[in-house]
Structures are given as structure tokens and as C-alpha cells.
Amino acid sequence: MLETLKALSDPCRLRLTAVLLAGEYTVQELTRIMDMGQSRISRHLKILSEAGVLTVKRQGTWSYFRAGDGSPFFAAIRSAFERGMEALPERSQDLAAVGAVLEERRRRSQQFFDRHARQWDDLARTLLPVPEYRQRLLDQVPESVTVLEIGTGTGGLLIELAARASNVIGVDHSPAMLEEARRRLTSNNVADIELRLGEMSHLPLPNASVGCVVANMVLHHAADPATVLAEIRRVLTQGGILLLADLARHEREAAREQLADQWLGFEECELTSWLKAAGFVSVHCERIEAGIGQESILMVRAL
């Protein structure tokens, strides 16, 4: 208790903790959010981490800080802390700075996909191969419901989804990717799929409007994965299903630059934690092990 109170007794550390309760950020991002030097930020992070208030998630050469569970006392006071942090004098400017950092993550991703839309299928298949899982994903898509695919990309999955569902909507944040998807649908004489430009963190759909959401290899591109999962829960009907396939945690650092990956895959426990926090009550996660030269993937079914 004394360690926790001492760690939180500094105004800067209060602000840092408040920021990290709602997301994961690198030291470099935190220096921008807090408008402080790296050495000062690193010292504060070290104190908070040693007290168990924060934890570090290492992804290749990057380290992401987030709220931790190493301090039982902090866990006990967390809800009161979260209410009180809204009264911090710098809270508005910190939230604005967080928004700018997330927007920068999103902007880098969109620019990459706009640039590489025509080569994307070959790039992804060559640089980060995964075991075959597509049919297992499709077999779980329910019939006679509206299906939303987020991160549609070049539309490789849309045609097969349309063969199973009564109505299919594809959303992507890259105009160039959507144009490639339109070309593919036209060449295959598929006319009944609706394509929409939009962010996966702010889906262009009303509440409870789709019966199934498919998120195929897109969450590791998200600026804030937990926010995306909460947004998916918003657009799903009562009893609607999320089918998610994404990379298991890996160490291919080059994927950040070559494929615009924000995250080097995920752990099963963190996906489950985010989904439960988003309001999903039933979560089943299956790991499909990699073959030689491949990366393992996680397949999730959540209700």
C-alpha cells in the first residue's frame, strides 16, 4: 500500500497512470502525450512499474506500457482512481494528445494501404505466411443474417461470404483497397455486396444492425484493439457473433515496416480480456499452430 501511494503521489505519475488506464503506449508516444523529455518519462514509468501500477508488454524492439495488476491495493482503489482522474487539471489536454497519437497510428496505416493496395495480397502472403484456416472461418458464418467484414482489403473473402449470408457489407479505411475490392467483385459478377469507407474504431453502421462480424487478419493493424472490439459489440445484434482470426504473438519485427503492423500478434489472454470488457459473454479461442516458415494464428468465436 505504501509503495503504491508513494508511486502515485507525483502529479506527473498521476497523469501517466490516467492515460495508461485506457490504452497502451510506447515511451516515445508518452513523451508526446505528456510533452516531457524521454528520460523524465522513463523515470516515472520505472517507479510506477516497480510499484505494480503499470506493466510492460514487449513487442519486438518496442515496449508498450499499460495499467498492470501487480499491486492488489491499486486494483482495489482503481474504480475510485478512474473517477477522480477526470478532475486532473491537465486531463483535457492529455486526452487531446492521446487522440493525436491514435490518429497518427491510424494515418500511417491508411497511407500504407493506399500505397500498396494492388500488391497487398502478394505482400501479405509472401512476408507473413500463416497456416490455412480460411475454410474453418467460413464454416462458422451463420446463414440468413447480415454479415459485416471489417478491414475488407482487396475483397478476397467477400465473395465467399456472399455465398453464405443473406446480406454482406464490407468496410475498409483505405479508398484504394475498396477500389481493388470493387474490381474483384465486378470481375466475378458479384453485385449484391455493399462497400463502405470507414474506420474499424468508428464503424459506419447503426447499433445492433448486423448478425455476424468477420475480422480476418485486421486487428493487429488497429491503433487501439480494445476500442475496435467494443465497437464491434455495438453493431452486433443481441446474440450476434464475432468471428476473428489474427496473428498469435510473434517476433517478426520487420512486419511493422513491411506490412504496417501495429502489433506483433496477440496473446489469447489479452484478446479474451478485451472481449469480456467489451461485453461479449462467451469467448472461445483456438490456436492454429504454424508450419515451417509460418506464424501461428488465433481463431476466436465470441457471442
Residue 101 lies in a domain: no
Same domain, 135 and 53: no
- Return d(Cα 147, Cα 161) in angstroms, integer: 8
H/E run at residue 126: helix 120-127
What is residue 156's DSSP assignment? T
C-alpha cell at 50: 516497480
DSSP E strands in 108-157: the ranges are 146-150
Residue 105 lies in a domain: no
Identify the pLDDT of residue 122: 83
Identify the pLDDT of residue 192: 84
C-alpha cell at 196: 463502405
Same domain, 134 and 231: yes
Same domain, 164 and 293: yes
Identify the pLDDT of residue 257: 80
Same domain, 58 and 131: no
CATH number of the domain that 65 lies in? 1.10.10.10
Identify the pLDDT of residue 98: 95
Pairing relation of β-strands 210-216 and 236-247?
A: parallel
Identify the pLDDT of residue 12: 95
Same domain, 197 and 269: yes
Same domain, 196 and 137: yes
Residue 212 lies in a domain: yes
Placement of cell 480494445 in the chain: 226
Residue 98 lies in a domain: no
Average pLDDT per 10 consecutive residues for the chain, totaling 303 residues: 94 95 93 95 96 90 89 92 91 94 91 85 84 95 94 93 92 95 92 93 96 97 96 97 96 85 94 97 96 94 98
Same domain, 244 and 131: yes
Range of 57's domain?
Answer: 2-89
Asked if residues 261 and 221 have their Cβ atoms less than 8 Å apart, the reply is: yes
Domain count of the chain? Answer: 2
The b-or-e profile of 18-49 (16+ CB within 10 A means b, else e) is bbbebbbbebebbbbbbebeeeebeebbebbb
Same domain, 188 and 65: no
Same domain, 64 and 140: no
CATH number of the domain that 238 lies in? 3.40.50.150
Identify the pLDDT of residue 128: 85
Same domain, 210 and 273: yes
Asked if residues 261 and 213 have their Cβ atoms less than 8 Å apart, the reply is: no
Same domain, 123 and 253: yes
Identify the three-state secondary structure at position 101: helix
Identify the pLDDT of residue 58: 87
Identify the pLDDT of residue 126: 82
pTM of the predicted model as reported, rounded to 2 decimal places: 0.85
Same domain, 288 and 219: yes
